[in-house]
Chains A and B, each alone.
Chain A
Amino acid sequence: MTANHFVTGGTGFVGSNLILELLAERGTAVYALTRRSSRQSAEDRLQSALRHAARAAGYDDALDHAIAERCHAVEGDVLSENCGVTTGGLPRPDQFWHVAASLRYEERYAAEIFRTNVEGTRNALALARSSGVDRHFNYVSTAYVSGCRMGLIREEISSGQTPNNPYEASKIQAEGLVQQSLDLRPRIFRPSIVIGHSITRRVSSGFSGLYGFIKRVLRLRQLLDRIQDGLASRAGLRVIADPNALLNIIPVDVVARQLVRIGRSGSRATVFHITNPTPPPAVEVSRVIFRELDLPQPVMVSDSAGMNWIEQKVEEGLGFYKSYFRGTRVFERTNSDWTLGVSVPEPGYRMDSATVAEYVRWYADVLRGTTDLLPAAEAAAA
């Protein structure tokens, strides 16, 4: 059984792990739309990203051969028409995986986010069509297309929800485009917050989501200490958090495995939540993060009344991540679980404090190694 897969976003966090998972099947060939950089060809970028991802996933160099032999970069850019690809020499793909996206969420990048995520998806659909994809157009969306909606989030295309930021808005629009492309038998996968590998706890690239939050907290700590030695440890912070909020984190290898298994299935469903059915309380995760970063535990409060300036700035500084701690969402997984079969419980779902601490510690060490306090500018002036 050999299959050709076409993947966008293969140099990224989710895309590279998806490719590793696809390679697990003998004979599979992967064609990955890849941008060149000023210093590296598309092929070199792809190969090195995949080798990197393989190391983070705990593979030794045994997989490097498969990566070199069976993964091929197709130079292009989702911002170009047909992704800048002439399909002439390409084998017809069985499956098309559109994973590339911009994970920025700030208003000031709105135009770029919409171009990449909405126009990019339009171009990916066009490329899938012109390449004559045989089975499915698989689109990696996000569970957070639910926007501000709370409670039970169904595996269905919904409308009318209010997005929290341009990223969510762009992913909602892109889902709309994909859903309408019935000729491509579309499937929409919605992962929640993707974290490192379930065994190694490591991440090879694209430190967004939970990692972005950890980095914010560390930076804040460093900044406070820069302003006044020891301020971060003295100034206990109040942070607004809903005690019932759950933080839906899921390891990247679990995501990749579920994508590939559902991809191969004959399921006729369109939307699949790739989420953790047993997510930890957000407050507990934040406790672990503060502890691992040697910060005094924040005091969780329900509103901003009486917050001091630093606390207000922390609230503002958390920006996007604030939504992690507000409200409770439960993601339905009927389509996913039905398709995957739920015979053996997935060990990667387990997120007790000790497990979460391992993921956080790995990243805190990475950050400490690379972003130590700048030497204090002891100079005059200031």
Chain B
Amino acid sequence: MTSKIQPVFIVGTGRCGSTMLSNMIRDHAGILSLSEFLVSVTDFAGRTAKTFPEGRPVDAHHAWNVLGGFHPRQTAMLRHGVEMDEMLYPLASTSRFNRQTGVPAILYVTLPHLTRDHDALFDELRDYVMTFEPDLAFRQYVRVFEWLMARFGKRAWVERSGGSLRAVPRLAKSLPGARFIHIVRDGRDCAISMSKHTGFRMMMACTIMNQILGYDPYETDERRGVEELPDQFYRLLPEHFSGDAFASLDAPAALFGHYWSGEMMRGLKALADLPRDRVLTIHFEDILAEPKPWLRRMVEFIDPSFVDEDWVQRAAATIRPVRSSWRNLPVLEQSALTDACAPGFQVLSKHGLEPDSGGACPMPWYAGVRQRVRPAITLARFVGVRAALALAKARLGRVTSASPSAV
């Protein structure tokens, strides 16, 4: 069975609040919610090349290795008790998979998100995947999505993975017609949350290790140049990995603030290349402030036939107030974080994407003026007057004023 409804991905930077949407969509009668599929099968993006071999067909065994395999980063984290909070597979002593065996990628979150009977579903899925003839990777995964869609009696599927804004160019290229719901959240809150989240900490640690070594130590036994690794990364090599080493990794919010800005710059560029009707931008803060119109707008974007007032009511009722955490930071840390996020805010402003005026809503009359006085407005709008003052004060207090700022 093939869906007439074009695929939809909910994308965003890490910790933009999109997990909540997967949970809401799961409860919708017509839409299959695929949660953390891309995160799991790419092993925190470390296995992207293996998951999506460029231009090469993927056979049944390869596809099953991606979906049902035990991936090295996830396995190391599981063994040492630092798996992501989002992990749904029950690690009871009676479970089929446990910390020692590892948990197959698709059983990490995606299948348990859909059913309690995930182990049986896993076996059924394997039997299905093993019938695949070689085909391009994404077509194989879409087959899986459509099979699951039929299995759960739904009419469309929506995939959502934390931090998948980065994947937009690949998704758009592999699935012509794919549409995107971009969830935007204040970068400072995203950054603080990423800095505490095991998945993003692992991703960051691996990015740094790979960059220093020039290869991925989780994918090869090669160990050339490990002397170059600072101690905190050396201790995260698969052979040295431990819960303590992972807990002591120094990856503060400011680092993730820079990362958030980078993701936003790159992501908005990719989304801007797509036809406007294929992108819906929603601010997380707007959903919190006024959930119903935004949830309605979201399902309408997926397909107008999905608008269902009961669902909107139910979904809106699940929203809990979320405290914005960056305002609780000491002033200097606030300003460092704001500094790190400034390029991201700036690019959002450039695209006219600001809270209360999300991309789907008409641009306010002052948007043009705002473009011209962008830098000041950006700071005022995102940073707030108090933080702007703190930032200015912190700048003045520096040893030297010659250091160009990231703004």
A residues near B (Cβ < 8 Å) are: 104, 106-109, 215, 219, 222-224, 226-229, 231, 234-238, 296, 299, 301-303, 305-306, 308-310, 313, 316-317, 319, 370-371, 373-374, 377-382
- The contact sample of 10 A-B pairs, CB cut-off 8 A, is A106-B227, A228-B343, A234-B343, A370-B214, A377-B45, A379-B38, A381-B43, A381-B164, A381-B203, A382-B200
A379-B170, A382-B44 known; A235 and B163 CB under 8 Å? no
Contact across chains for B230 and A226 when beta carbons are under 8 A apart:
no
Contact across chains for B207 and A379 when beta carbons are under 8 A apart:
no
A379-B38, A381-B38 known; A309 and B403 CB under 8 Å? no
Determine which of A227, A238, A310, A371 lies in contact with B214 in the assembled complex, contact meaning CB atoms within 8 Å: A371
- Measured between beta carbons, the chain A residues less than 8 angstroms from B161 are 380-381
Contact across chains for B208 and A234 when beta carbons are under 8 A apart:
no
| C-alpha spacing A38/B398, complex, angstroms | 54
| C-alpha spacing A106/B233, complex, angstroms | 14
Contact across chains for A104 and B266 when beta carbons are under 8 A apart:
no
Closest-by-CB residue of A relative to B210 is: A374
A238-B403, A374-B211 known; A228 and B261 CB under 8 Å? yes
Determine which of A229, A236, A374, A382 lies in contact with B403 in the assembled complex, contact meaning CB atoms within 8 Å: A236
- Measured between beta carbons, the chain B residues less than 8 angstroms from A371 are 214
Q: How far is the CB of A215 from chain B (nearest CB, A)?
A: 8
- Measured between beta carbons, the chain A residues less than 8 angstroms from B48 are 377-380
Closest-by-CB residue of A relative to B170 is: A378
| C-alpha spacing A231/B256, complex, angstroms | 13
Contact across chains for A379 and B227 when beta carbons are under 8 A apart:
no
Contact across chains for A219 and B211 when beta carbons are under 8 A apart:
yes
A226-B207, A236-B402, A381-B38 known; A309 and B343 CB under 8 Å? no
Closest-by-CB residue of B relative to A107 is: B231
Q: How far is the CB of A256 from chain B (nearest CB, A)?
A: 26
Contact across chains for A231 and B258 when beta carbons are under 8 A apart:
yes
Interface majority SS on B: helix, strand, loop or mixed? helix
A219-B211, A382-B163 known; A227 and B266 CB under 8 Å? no
Extra A-B contacts (10), CB below 8 Å, given A227-B258, A236-B402, A381-B163: A106-B227, A229-B266, A303-B399, A308-B336, A309-B252, A310-B258, A371-B214, A374-B211, A378-B169, A380-B48
Is B77 an interface position by the 8 A CB rule?
no
Q: How far is the CB of B94 from chain A (nearest CB, A)?
A: 30
Contact across chains for B166 and A382 when beta carbons are under 8 A apart:
yes
B residues near A (Cβ < 8 Å) are: 14, 38-40, 42-48, 51-52, 161-164, 166-167, 169-170, 199-200, 203, 207-208, 210-212, 214, 227-228, 230-231, 234, 250, 252, 254-255, 258-259, 261-262, 265-266, 336, 339, 343, 394, 397-400, 402-404, 406
- Measured between beta carbons, the chain A residues less than 8 angstroms from B336 are 308-309
Q: How far is the CB of B103 from chain A (nearest CB, A)?
A: 16
Closest-by-CB residue of B relative to A306 is: B398
Closest-by-CB residue of B relative to A377 is: B45
Q: Sorted from nearest, which 7 A-B pairs have the closest CB atoms?
A: A228-B262, A380-B38, A379-B48, A381-B39, A380-B167, A382-B45, A379-B45
| C-alpha spacing A378/B270, complex, angstroms | 11
Contact across chains for B208 and A223 when beta carbons are under 8 A apart:
yes
Q: How far is the CB of B342 from chain A (nearest CB, A)?
A: 10
Contact across chains for B39 and A380 when beta carbons are under 8 A apart:
yes
| C-alpha spacing A373/B173, complex, angstroms | 23
Contact across chains for A238 and B399 when beta carbons are under 8 A apart:
yes
- Measured between beta carbons, the chain B residues less than 8 angstroms from A108 are 231, 234
Closest-by-CB residue of B relative to A105 is: B227
| C-alpha spacing A60/B398, complex, angstroms | 55
Determine which of A109, A236, A302, A317 lies in contact with B404 in the assembled complex, contact meaning CB atoms within 8 Å: A236
- Measured between beta carbons, the chain B residues less than 8 angstroms from A373 are 211
Contact across chains for A382 and B261 when beta carbons are under 8 A apart:
no
Contact across chains for B406 and A235 when beta carbons are under 8 A apart:
yes
